[in-house]
């Protein structure tokens, strides 16, 4: 067996309407299926495949995400463009919409903006740095992280 690509992510959320609005209105995902009262879930796609993100409502009384160091998912990386201008635009949108901004990082191969969704899931919104040839220099992928000033 050989993995061909990472196909999609599924997140449990407290409130399907609130989370759908975040992923649609803040991040610009295209909804492909709206919540059904019999199965409160919503699917989104960027057009690359049938769905890249599925949200499933588990209710307000569901256990919160663990904080601090723990085993499990750390964050989702979402490519939002190919230039720092697009990252600046994303940062401005997040600030305008009062999205929790966690940080900015220069990873040599990518520049990243870290934010939290309404349920506290961490998202890395990133661009690939033009001209960095990570295929010829795979060590660049593990280069030390540096602060990013936009």
Q: How large is the average pLDDT for residues 10-24?
A: 97
Query: pTM for the full model?
Result: 0.93
Average pLDDT, the chain: 95
Longest dimension (CA), the chain: 50
76 band by pLDDT with thresholds 50, 70 and 90 = very high
> Looking at domain 74-150, does it have CATH number 3.10.180.10?
yes
pLDDT tens per residue, range 82-119: 999 999 999 999 999 999 999 999 999 999 999 999 99
Instruction: Give the phi and the psi of residue 14 in degrees, each rounded to 5.
Output: -70, -50
Which residues make up the CATH 3.10.180.10 domain(s) of the chain? Answer: 1-60, 74-150
- Whole-number pLDDT of residue 95: 97
* The CATH homologous superfamily of the domain defined by 1-60: 2,3-Dihydroxybiphenyl 1,2-Dioxygenase, domain 1 (3.10.180.10)
Residue with token string 């040599």: 108
Coil vs helix vs strand at 142: helix
- Whole-number pLDDT of residue 38: 86
36 band by pLDDT with thresholds 50, 70 and 90 = confident
Among the listed residues 124, 51, 57, the one whose alpha carbon sits nearest the alpha carbon of residue 87 = 124
Cα–Cα dist 148/26, whole Å = 22
Q: How large is the average pLDDT for residues 21-35?
A: 91
Structure tokens at 80: 């939002």
Percentage above 90 pLDDT, the chain: 91
Parallel/antiparallel/unpaired status of strands 110-116 and 53-57: unpaired
Instruction: Give counts: helices (H), strands (E), the chain.
Output: 2, 9
Among the listed residues 74, 32, 67, the one whose alpha carbon sits nearest the alpha carbon of residue 53 = 32
Q: How large is the average pLDDT for residues 41-70?
A: 94
134 within 8 A of 140, measured Cβ to Cβ:
yes
- Strand-pairing partners, residue 53, are 9, 44
């Amino acid at each position: 067996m050989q993995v061909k690509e990472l196909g999609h992510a599924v997140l449990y959320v407290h409130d399907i309407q609130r989370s759908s609005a975040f992923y649609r209105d803040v991040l610009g995902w295209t909804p492909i299926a709206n919540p059904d009262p019999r199965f409160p879930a919503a699917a989104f796609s960027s057009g690359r495949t049938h769905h890249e993100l599925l949200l499933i409502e588990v209710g307000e009384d569901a256990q919160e995400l663990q904080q601090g160091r723990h085993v499990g998912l750390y964050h989702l990386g979402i490519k939002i463009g190919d230039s720092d201008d697009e990252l600046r635009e994303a940062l401005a949108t997040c600030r305008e919409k009062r999205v929790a901004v966690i940080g900015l990082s220069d990873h040599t191969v990518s520049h990243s903006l870290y934010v939290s969704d309404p349920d506290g899931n961490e998202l890395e919104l990133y661009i690939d740095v033009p001209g960095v040839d990570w295929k010829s220099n795979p060590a660049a992928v593990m280069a030390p992280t540096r602060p990013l000033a936009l």
